[in-house]
Amino acid sequence: MIVVEHRQIELDYCPGCEGVWFDAGELDLFLRCAQMATPELVIKNIVNLPAIKSLHKPLKCPICGRGMKEVAIDQPVIHVDVCHQTDGMWFDGGEVYQLLTQQAARSATGAGSGQPVFEFLGEVFRGKE
């Protein structure tokens, strides 16, 4: 894992699988910087979503070491692993870019002053094509 930092946002990024770990509150900060924050994407709300059936073994939270649950967020659905203790959440490679793209499409302000943040972070987290 390497740390990717931009303004007040510091994320843990795996160059091997291109996954991203958001500590508690970082997703909200990330989306607020891009002017795309929505209440349903705050970790307190995500952790209350029902777990979905997963084909892979639950990931362990890098903070508390406990198994995380996989949930579905946004539309179209993005599957993320979230810590039951609200320590954070894991996005597989390309899912952060997918989330940014979906949020920007719905947000009139997504193309406003947050556009440089969106472009920078979208390039970093685009994932393999």
Is the pLDDT assigned to residue 12 strictly greater than 80?
A: yes
Phi and psi, residue 38, nearest 5° = -140, 145
The string of pLDDT tens digits covering residues 59-76 is 999 999 999 999 999 878
Please give the Cα distance from 68 to 91 (Å, whole number). 12
Would you state the structure tokens that stand for residue 112, as one six-digit string?
A: 């406003």
The pLDDT score that the predictor gives to residue 110 is 44
Locate the domains of the chain by residue range: 2-124
The string of pLDDT tens digits covering residues 29-51 is 877 777 776 777 788 888 899 99
The string of pLDDT tens digits covering residues 80-129 is 999 999 999 999 988 888 888 887 777 654 444 455 555 656 566 665 55
